[in-house]
Amino acid sequence: MVERIIVGPLSSNAYIYSEWKKECLLIDPGGDMEEILSHMAIKNLKPLGIICTHGHLDHVAGAYELQRHFRERDLEVPVAIHGADAHYLGKNAAESHRISFEQIGIDLKSVLMDYELLFPEPDIILEDGKTVLTSSLTVLHTPGHTPGSICLYSEAQGILFSGDTLFFEGVGRTDLMEGDGESILKSIREKLLILPQETMVFPGHGPNTSIEREIKNNPFLQ
């Protein structure tokens, strides 16, 4: 099961993903915690973990409140992120987010009014080629949007969570702190376009797509 919930002021895609009857993974919970919890309650799901495809605010901002919510109910839910983006979590994370927004001329204070100010410490450091907890999802390290950007690929399910690396006829922006235009195109070509063309792609923003569609139509990849 893949359920998309559009969250936060930047309209990010959060996902509830399940391969199990009563358990799930929360991918990129960037805000609107109550909305995410409502969708989980309808399906009577409990989370095994919170997985962040990268560290930007609109993909991690709900993690602290979700983790606290379940901790108050005696359920420990680990938060996972790639090591190269771990500085976007933890006690010093606010400074990383402030610098990131300043570089594109946005006052973080105006954005933070819509976000939770606290960020959890990372419990799991994701590594390229490793599976995520007990799922069939494999970590694909795809730097470019950020140094620690990842995608999550399930060969068995034929799906890819592409974060802010690959979008419907687009790619992630690279004008933010630590972005690299050459790296993101290299990551997409070497890690994503080699996947089976029928692979369904669930991106961090915008509608779903497929590897086949992006090979044929994505203007950034021609």
pTM above 0.75, yes or no: yes
* Distance, CA of 1 to CA of 127 (rounded, Å): 24
- Structural domains in the chain plus CATH codes: 2-221 (3.60.15.10)
Identity (one letter) of the amino acid at 45?
A: L
- Report yes or no: 83 and 75 within 8 Å, Cβ to Cβ: no
- Furthest-apart CA pair in the chain: how many Å? 50
Q: How many residues does this entry show for the chain?
A: 222
* Distance, CA of 123 to CA of 129 (rounded, Å): 18
pLDDT 10s digits, 79-130: 999 999 999 999 888 778 777 767 666 665 655 555 556 899 999 999 999 9
pLDDT 10s digits, 132-182: 999 999 999 999 999 999 999 999 999 999 999 999 999 999 988 789 999
- Give strand pairing partners of 12: 7
Structure tokens at 104: 């594109």
* Distance, CA of 136 to CA of 156 (rounded, Å): 7
* Distance, CA of 18 to CA of 193 (rounded, Å): 25
| Residue 28 to residues 36, 156, 181, 198, Cα–Cα distance (Å) | 11, 22, 22, 24
Task: Give me the mean pLDDT over the 24-52 stretch.
Answer: 96
Per-residue model confidence (pLDDT) at position 93: 86
